[in-house]
Amino acid sequence: MTRQWLQGVALEARQVSAMLGAAEVLHGIELALAAGQWTSIVGPNGAGKSTLLKVLAGLLAHRGEVRLHGQPLAGLGARARARRLAWLGQGGAGEGSADDLMVYDVAMLGRLPHQRWLAAPGPADRAAVEQALRSTQAWDWRERPLGQLSGGERQRVLLARALAVEAELLLMDEPLANLDPPHQADWIALARAQVRQGRTVVSVLHELNVALAADAMVVMAGGRVLHHGRCNDPATHEALEAVFDKRIVVHRVAGQWIAIPA
Ligand SMILES: Nc1ncnc2c1ncn2[C@@H]1O[C@H](COP(=O)(O)OP(=O)(O)OP(=O)(O)O)[C@@H](O)[C@H]1O
């Protein structure tokens, strides 16, 4: 499903299906995500967005194939994959065991794929962690335990951990969870900055106005991709309105596409 506007493909799903428990929740997904762009994945609750993102990150068993720049993802070693694909999970789920760790050390976990076994972090690791923590305004908490932070503060630390990987691809599941409006705006600027540096950003988002600020949008429902197009394409707006039962309408306001209640 390579499209004309795709300059290069970073991640590709070929006939991907996935089971959760006894249920098939992704059905024959065919998708090619543009390299060096920001793609948002949207759709109603239960559409399969998080499941698709996990499959694309190589975190969930599936049928079919995922390719990273044309190479089968399954053929990459775990470390190589972790260096190339940074992951920010939903609401920091599964991060409970990190609660006692200092914020600085949590962000340093993002450098593990770059470090030799049991080796101390080097100057490049420390520089990447400082830059990442500063970019999410989390540097001032570096000596605080993660467990003592608010939901939004914690999210910014986990975002810094993902940025510290300095991976070519950033996959983020609801990265705006718990972020206040200024930090949501900062997140958009961050995503854009990553793209300017040549990286690829893929984010599952419920905030449609933020999702519409991306370069491209994947609209999902019922475990299938219903539409994949540019965020400024009227066909994308139609698909978005349709998947939410025409309860929203997309308008151009002050130079931006926004979704408002119909
Ligand atoms: N363990 C499980 N067993 C069976 N079905 C599951 C299991 N976990 C999730 N599901 C189902 O899989 C489907 C896809 O879930 P997924 O979390 O990918 O959706 P989503 O689009 O990310 O939803 P949301 O917007 O609510 O986060 C849902 O219908 C969900 O009920």
Residue in the structure block whose two tokens are 């475990």: 223
Atom of ligand 1 nearest to the CA of 53: 18
Per-residue pLDDT of the chain (262 residues; tens, 9 = 90+): 445 455 699 999 999 999 999 999 999 999 999 999 999 999 999 999 999 999 999 999 999 999 999 999 999 988 899 999 999 998 554 455 688 899 999 999 999 988 877 778 889 999 999 999 999 999 999 999 999 999 999 999 999 999 999 999 999 999 998 899 999 999 999 999 999 999 999 999 999 999 999 999 999 999 999 999 999 999 999 999 999 999 999 999 999 999 999 8
Check residue 2 and give its pLDDT.
46
Looking at the domain covering 9-91+167-261, what would its CATH class be?
A: alpha beta
pLDDT of residue 126: 96
* Residue 21 near ligand 1, beta carbon < 6 Å: yes
89 lines ligand 1 (CB under 6 A): no
**How many CB atoms are located within 10 Å of the residue 249 CB?**
14
Does ligand 1 have an atom closer than 6 angstroms to the CB of 19? no
* Contact present, 16 and 64 (Cβ < 8 Å): yes
Say which residue the tokens 């920010």 belong to: 88
- 4 by Cβ neighbours in 10 Å (0-12 / 13-18 / 19+) ranks as exposed
**Residue 226 CA to ligand 1 centre (angstroms):** 17
C-alpha 26 to ligand 1 mean position (Å)? 10
Q: Is the pTM of this model over 0.80?
A: yes
